[in-house]
A and B are shown apart, each in its own frame.
Chain A
């Protein structure tokens, strides 16, 4: 069965600093990969997705992620963090076939932004 690991439970950065959130997955083939963000009391908002092709994908709010097959990773990056980026971030995978598109999520990374 597939699994997703987000090694960092909580990350704190200063406003304006760069950010990288780590995500590793375990699956026999290349899954579809996603990053979602969740603000308190709200649902999940899709930041970006990787299906195939260019391994560097651009998303909303200035985020990007890079798929590295050799490392089974899909790390999320942002060059300059804004205070409004404080939230919880989830990496997720979606496998084909009889999984019917259901998402398997990592445990999430809480991002705190200091002014």
Chain B
């Protein structure tokens, strides 16, 4: 069956612009996670969704970052007023519930000029 789908696969934008990253999880997976992978920080948790609600947003680095999930399915991670330190690969993962293994998408590589 289809895996976790992320779009775009690559995004290049100018500093100060807003970006939206999309994640389409595996059908039926109620849990959805966003992670960030960067050279300096490794893999870091950003936010967790259970259905449409986000009980854990503790990993979001600043108020420029926000995320939503609609219909218990697609999620969008938005970064406002991008900075160069936002350059990273943003990975989305989903699982049947929070106690099941997570399946990852191929990520969105974000480059801030």
**A-to-B contact residues, CB < 8 Å:** 32, 34, 36, 41-46, 49, 90, 96, 98-108
Contacts and interface: CB of A to CB of B under 8 A. Distances in A.
Interface stretch (B13-21, B40-48, B61-69, B70-78): B40-48
B101 A100 contact: no
A96 to B, nearest CB: 8
13 contacts: A42-B106, A42-B107, A43-B91, A43-B105, A44-B104, A90-B43, A99-B56, A101-B95, A103-B45, A103-B93, A103-B102, A104-B45, A106-B42
Contact of B99 (A34, A44, A101, A105): A101
Contacts, number: 57
Given A43-B107, A108-B42, A100 B55 contact: yes
Given A41-B106, A100-B55, A101-B31, 19 more contacts: A34-B101, A42-B107, A43-B104, A44-B93, A44-B104, A90-B43, A96-B99, A100-B50, A100-B56, A101-B33, A101-B48, A101-B102, A103-B33, A103-B43, A103-B102, A105-B42, A105-B43, A108-B42, A108-B43
B103 interface: yes
Nearest to B6: A43
Interface of B: 4, 31, 33, 35, 42-43, 45, 48, 50, 55-56, 59, 91, 93, 95, 97-107
B90 to A, nearest CB: 11
A44 B56 contact: no
B98 A43 contact: no
Determine chain B's interface SS by DSSP, over half rule. strand
Nearest to A99: B56
Contacts of B4: 43
> Quick one: which of B4, B42, B101 has the most chain A CB within 10 A?
B101
Nearest to A46: B101
A102 B48 contact: yes
A2 to B, nearest CB: 11
Contacts of A104: 45
A23 B53 CA distance: 33
A43 B43 CA distance: 12
